[in-house]
Amino acid sequence: MWVPVALFVAGACLIGEAVATGEAEVSLVVIFPVFTGSSAVFLLGTVLILLSFIIGFMMLAISSSEAESTRTKTLITEAKGEPDRKAQYGGLVLIGPLPIAFGSNRNLALLMLALGVVLLIILLGTFVLIVK
């Protein structure tokens, strides 16, 4: 499980090293940092970060399918007992600084929306400090 994290950190360090040595540049577009470079170190850092996302999603899919097969086996072997509790979920999508919240029930959706508003305030505050 630590492989994607290690690849991401290694890639970020390589990109940071490329920026520090002048082989790459950092720009701020709206509120998003944009890195550009043409060195092999920068390219390797970018490849490692992309590889970390790919491996992370693959590991997530594999563990999810294993958990589902284990759950199915458990449900088949269990006798009639207490009813299944429904899983609850919630999420937050930030499109730029705009939060979009969702959840399996109203309380979770409101919690996600509150988190989104807090993140929006932090992002806008950071942007105002950078622009000054």
Give tens-digit pLDDT for 9-49. 999 999 889 988 989 888 888 777 788 888 889 899 989 98
Question: pTM above 0.75?
Answer: no
* Angle formed at CA 110 by CA 122 and CA 115, multiple of 5 degrees: 20
List the domain boundaries for the chain.
1-85, 86-132
Share of the chain above pLDDT 90, in %: 7
Give residue-wise pLDDT tens across range 84-105. Answer: 567 788 888 888 777 888 888 8
Q: Is 88 helix (H, G, I), strand (E, B) or coil?
A: coil
Characterise 15 by phi-psi region: left (phi > 0), alpha (psi -120 to 50), beta (else): alpha
**Helix-strand-coil split of the chain, %, nearest 5:** 60, 20, 20
